[in-house]
Amino acid sequence: MNSPKKAFQDVQPQVSFPKLEQRILQFWKEQGIYDKSLQRRRDAPRFVFYEGPPTANGLPHPGHCLTRAIKDLFPRYRTMRGYRCERKAGWDTHGLPVEVEVCKELGIHSKAEIEAYGVERFIHRCLESVFRYTREWEYLTERIGFWIHLEEAYVTYHQSYVESIWWCLKTLFDRGLLYHGHKIVWWWPQGGTALSAGEVGQGYRTVDDPSVYVRMPLLNEEGQETDTDLLIWTTTPWTLPSNQFVAVDPELEYARVWDAQRGRHLVVARVLVEPLAQKFSRTWEVRETFPGRRLVGRRYRPPFDFYYRQQGSRRGRLRQGGEEYWGWRVVEADFVTTDSGTGLVHQAPAFGEVDFDVLRREQARFEPGQGPPLLCAVAPDGTFTAEAPPYQGQFVKDADRQIMADLKRRGLLFHRETYQHEYPFCWRAEQDPLIQYPRKSWFIRTSQLKELMLENNRHIAWLPEHIRDGRFGNFLESNVDWALSRERYWGTPLPIWQCEATGRFEAVASYQELLAKPGVQGTEVWQRAKEQNPQLPEHLKVHKPYIDAVTYDSPFQPGARMRRVPEVIDVWFDSGAMPFAQWGYPHRGQERFREQFPADFISEAIDQTRGWFYSLLAISTLLFGTEPQPGEQGTFRQEFPHPYRNCVVLGLMLGEDGHKMSKQRRNYREPQEIFDRYGADAMRWYFFANQAPWTSIRYSEQAIRDSIPEFLLRLWNVYNFFVTYANIDGFDPAARIPAADAGDLSRQVLAGGEGYRPHPQRGELDRWILSELDRTAQLVVQHMDRYENYPAARLLHQFVDALSNWYVRRSRSRFWASGLCEDKLDAYWTLYECLVTTCKLVAPFVPFLAEELWQNLARSPFGQRVLESVHLADYPTGEPSRYDEELSRRMGLVREIVSLGRSARTAQKLKVRQPLPQVEIVLADRRDQPWLEQHAELIAEELNVKQVHFARQADQYIQYTVLPNLPRLGPRLGKRIPLLKKALQEADPAALLRRLESEGQVELELADGPLALTRDDLQVRLQAKEGWAAAQGPGAVVVLNTQLTPELVQEGLARDLVRAIQEERRRRGCQYTDRIRLVLFTPEEALQQAAQAFAQYIQGETLAVELAVQGQQPPEGEQVGRYKLGSAQVGVQLEVVRSSGSPA
């Protein structure tokens, strides 16, 4: 054999994917491939992606690997599909996560301590902390192959970002959508600030709280205690001192029961009498039942008299005339349930939103100034005030014990137990419980836009779909105004200035606008700080404390000054504003914003339902959901949906053990370890190909490792196989292709290659795999266009499997033929086209492996004439016309027959090396027979039989059953189906089939009349009779003839010998092309004869130029390999006569 030029670089069979990936990363970086991929789509339509900004002051964990992998997949795919998809990174830099981190470093906790440390110094520390783990984040991003412009990232504390938000808030303020209100908020006492629903939602924990039943004696008309008590239930004893009402359901039936043990009457809901009595181990006697309405208006004595002493008998004038007591009476409410508690609900309006509404409603009944005030014995720091002297200074939760003890001592504590429930804690300072608390706070009137948000939501394509009307839709339905302000330090300052004289507010849209105000003062505070420390970034001047110093003349009253309100805003507002704020819109970046709005695609984990998904939608709807007001800057009305059209909601990532990942539990591997051991492609493929992305995904090292043999290595082996033989044969796809620009090696380009024949001229196997290739490409594109990575990945997996386990397996012998004959060239071109196309198809999924393949398959032979990277290529879309469904079905049948044959062999313990005389094939549908006969050779080879016979008369080994083809007949016959089944059971199936075959149709007599049936109306099931080496499937029965002749036995032995010799070749390190001289040693006569009879076959298979057989035991020594064939010993001695590559 001559030594032709190699078109491809030889492939190392023992591939290390992590090392390969490092090389590819280097290549991408050095050649700027990502930028080139954008450049190439410069004028293409846009595909807009938004990056949800991570917080870089915490370490990335495996969950982020999934989001980053998905965020890479679709932009990469869309780029290959011909879109321009810019990917701008972003960082979330504000808010509690940062402040809490810094407090931990400083060893402080409370706001007082921060103030003592100094707000300015504190802010500087925050700034330093923000990018603490940037390097880790950037490493992860790059290593997993997430292409994104990190160097152009938007940063939420930057001045332009902040000013965008100011513009947004000013717009909302001017529209009356941003207001200062008094409400019950979720309050973080230690942190001294309110939190948003999103933040609260992140901090729920299961805790044991006290659960107390307290009695409150009813009063009579004169205000004296009666012998009847209201029984209420609460898990927050600390709210009892601030009790103002008891609520009942007016329609619900209540009972007055006699408690003999106490000698008093109690009032509880009628349906709760038994369960409560049981809980308290009492016997209660129901004395009276009545609707709740009868209790309304009755007064009671509260458990504490801190307020009651002063106000217990206070009354006010009602709007509708008459007077009413301020409080401590029964009111009606629609939220009372009998699911828990007693059916009577303690109301402390200061510490509950619904309670507060009750107070509001009661206040509204009184004439102005006549109604009850809000009672609140708790200070903002969560401690009791002087209004509850015994507990003054105690933190509310800590005071629970003493409160319960006091109640017990006074005989008011009816029952006490522990109650396990979910309770919110601060999402960053996890030891701090939150409480509901009345507070003046800034709100966005989102509830006013609820319908619009719902409408907007209806246009979003959610994956999975149920998020739209389920979790997200429900959340929108229950929308409450957004508690925007935070009484904290490191955040976007609320751009509102207040007149010190009139208290009126004004919003400011930019720093420049602020500087342009009349009589501006205070900017020197920033100037001085900057002079002192020139390193300070300019961005800080729009932050606390510098911005607080800036004041100006009030437009509301001459001589008065405008001062900024002290609050910063909810950090979730920052990220929700990114569609415009990332460009600094509208102060700058107008064009960029218009191009990149709305997004086609975003993706985050499901916990963002109330987080980013909501903040994006809410802000966008507020700004761009309605016609702009006259005189507004930058707003316009955008058609729904915005700001995102498609949202892939990712499931929760679980640890190895199926539980939440946790550092303490050590139930997951660090991403770094996975990258080093298995590589990013393995991880990506595991994420994409093993489950729908919205199911919870188990982050399992084993499962990630498995994607290597299951997919990556399988593809690699096919590639390796191809390159090995292509190099041996000197196959060069570039040889005759004249085009200076071969582009991405489309089919049209390949068609110009040397020896390339059009597909229809090629053999069936080639046409089959090419048809599968087109089908796969088509379906993959269909799924990927709908963001369905999982079915797409499965299709790719199936194709690679078919390529490896059927096409290559069946084609191997074609590659072994000598010289480059037409059939061999067909095989090369077919496999080459499959590999090049697969490489493009898998590129968005496993970008590293795809690139490696491309570099060798395309770049090695074509050099500069093809695209530099697979990621610059166009994604193959397949052509429907090239999918040959019939061929696919038939090949399936061939594979079924082969599989059945093997099954029959296994059942008989007949190894494939032993040739058999004949196989008998019985088809369920004989129409396939003519076509299958052409494949007899293939079947014979796979099953190692001498003859393939298609049985016409197979009654001797087959039993037929004829069944209705239900999908066809069901709709037509409906209720007649059972009758047909009965008729078929009674008919003679063989005769029926014969009639069908001769006449094309058959008439059956059913119980209610005749029925004409064609062949397609019926399905034939075959069953092998006992006593045959047979296996049955839906399409065929395969029967083996197991009679062995001496010749067949000899041939089997010869194949055993070949196997031993090949093993020896391998042991001795022979090249595939090495010729050998061969000596076999065996005293076994049968083997000697077999070797002689099949000498030519053996020599051909093993490239032996000489074969000698010695009838003696093999001699000792390293030069002779010893093998056991059945019971016989064989020695194999070989000597290489000449090496490949060296001249003959």
Partner RNA sequence: GGGCGUGUAGCUCAGUUGGUUAGAGCGCAUCCCUGAUAAGGAUGAGGUCCCUGGUUCGAGUCCAGGCACGCCCA
| Residues 587-606, interacting with RNA (CB under 7 A) | 606
> At closest approach, how far in Å is the CB of 1028 from RNA?
15
Interface with RNA by CB under 7 A: which range of 59-67, 534-542, 568-576, 1017-1025? 1017-1025
Report the residue from 116, 735, 821, 907 that binds RNA according to the rule CB under 7 A: 907
Nearer residue to RNA within complex by CB, 585 or 957: 957
Binding mask 756-795 for RNA (x = CB under 7 A): --------------------------------------x-
User: Nearest 10 degrees: CA dihedral of 554, 560, 562, 567?
Assistant: -140
Nearer residue to RNA within complex by CB, 191 or 693: 693
Q: Tell me how far apart the alpha carbons of residues 832 and 507 are, in angstroms, rounded to a whole number.
A: 66
Nearer residue to RNA within complex by CB, 67 or 1019: 1019
> At closest approach, how far in Å is the CB of 296 from RNA?
23
> At closest approach, how far in Å is the CB of 687 from RNA?
12
3 binds RNA (CB under 7 A): no
Nearer residue to RNA within complex by CB, 672 or 695: 695
> At closest approach, how far in Å is the CB of 247 from RNA?
14
> At closest approach, how far in Å is the CB of 1058 from RNA?
6
397 binds RNA (CB under 7 A): no
Nearer residue to RNA within complex by CB, 224 or 702: 702
Nearer residue to RNA within complex by CB, 373 or 1033: 1033
DSSP state at residue 805:
I
> At closest approach, how far in Å is the CB of 1142 from RNA?
17
Provide the strand spans (E) within 494-535.
496-499, 505-507
888 binds RNA (CB under 7 A): no
> At closest approach, how far in Å is the CB of 473 from RNA?
8
Nearer residue to RNA within complex by CB, 466 or 637: 466
Provide the strand spans (E) within 924-993.
945-950, 958-964
Binding mask 802-821 for RNA (x = CB under 7 A): --xx--xx--x---x-----
Report yes or no: 1053 and 1125 within 8 Å, Cβ to Cβ: yes
Report the residue from 134, 392, 724, 1088 that binds RNA according to the rule CB under 7 A: 724
357 binds RNA (CB under 7 A): no
> At closest approach, how far in Å is the CB of 136 from RNA?
25
DSSP state at residue 392:
B
Report the residue from 392, 918, 965, 1042 that binds RNA according to the rule CB under 7 A: 965
Residues designated catalytic? 53, 92, 572, 608, 612, 660, 663
Question: Which H helix or E strand runs over 125?
Answer: helix 119-130
906 binds RNA (CB under 7 A): yes
Nearer residue to RNA within complex by CB, 411 or 1100: 1100
Of 595-654, which residues contact RNA (CB under 7 A)?
606-607, 609-610, 652
Number of residues that bind RNA (CB under 7 A): 94
Nearer residue to RNA within complex by CB, 638 or 782: 782
> At closest approach, how far in Å is the CB of 75 from RNA?
24
974 binds RNA (CB under 7 A): yes
293 binds RNA (CB under 7 A): no
Question: CA nearest 836: which of 802, 810, 862, 806?
Answer: 862
Greatest Cα-to-Cα distance within the chain, rounded to the nearest angstrom: 127
DSSP structure string for 335-388: ---SSSS-S-EEE-GGG-HHHHHHHHHHHHHBPTTTSPPPP--B-TTSBB-TTS
Report the residue from 59, 560, 912, 1044 that binds RNA according to the rule CB under 7 A: 912
Nearer residue to RNA within complex by CB, 374 or 912: 912
Question: Which H helix or E strand runs over 309?
Answer: helix 308-311
SS3 743: strand
**ω into residue 545 within 30 of 0, thus cis?**
yes
> At closest approach, how far in Å is the CB of 353 from RNA?
7
**Unique residue bearing structure tokens 């049985």:** 951
Of 977-1016, which residues contact RNA (CB under 7 A)?
977-978
Q: What is the CA radius of gyration of the chain?
A: 41
Report the residue from 183, 530, 747, 913 that binds RNA according to the rule CB under 7 A: 913
- CB atoms under 10 Å from CB of 840, counted, come to 24
**ω into residue 760 within 30 of 0, thus cis?**
no
Task: Output phi, psi for 1107, to 5 deg.
Answer: -135, 120
H runs (alpha helix) in 803-884: 809-816, 822-842, 847-854, 860-862
Amino acid at 329: R
Report yes or no: 832 and 733 within 8 Å, Cβ to Cβ: yes
The tally of CA atoms less than 13 A away on the side-chain side of residue 986 is 10
Q: Tell me how far apart the alpha carbons of residues 35 and 569 are, in angstroms, rounded to a whole number.
A: 36
Of 6-45, which residues contact RNA (CB under 7 A)?
13-14
> At closest approach, how far in Å is the CB of 714 from RNA?
6
DSSP structure string for 455-490: HHHHTSEEESTHHIIIIIHHHHHT---EE-EES-SS
Of 215-254, which residues contact RNA (CB under 7 A)?
none
899 binds RNA (CB under 7 A): yes
Question: CA nearest 1093: which of 1139, 1045, 1138?
Answer: 1045
> At closest approach, how far in Å is the CB of 1021 from RNA?
5
Interface with RNA by CB under 7 A: which range of 317-325, 402-410, 470-478, 854-862? 470-478
Binding mask 174-203 for RNA (x = CB under 7 A): -----------------------xx-xxx-
Of 404-443, which residues contact RNA (CB under 7 A)?
421-422, 424
Q: Residues 6 or more apart from 471 whose CB is under 8 A from it?
A: 606, 609
Report the residue from 30, 43, 222, 339 that binds RNA according to the rule CB under 7 A: 339
Torsional sign, CA 740, 746, 748, 751: positive
Nearer residue to RNA within complex by CB, 409 or 975: 975
Q: Tell me how far apart the alpha carbons of residues 2 and 893 are, in angstroms, rounded to a whole number.
A: 41
Distance of CA 1004 to the CA centre of its chain: 55
Of 1040-1099, which residues contact RNA (CB under 7 A)?
1055, 1058-1059, 1062-1063, 1065-1066, 1072-1073
970 binds RNA (CB under 7 A): yes
Task: Output phi, psi for 632, to 5 deg.
Answer: -75, 150
Report the residue from 26, 474, 521, 761 that binds RNA according to the rule CB under 7 A: 474
Question: CA nearest 459: which of 621, 663, 251, 225?
Answer: 621
Nearer residue to RNA within complex by CB, 26 or 1139: 1139
Of 530-589, which residues contact RNA (CB under 7 A)?
none
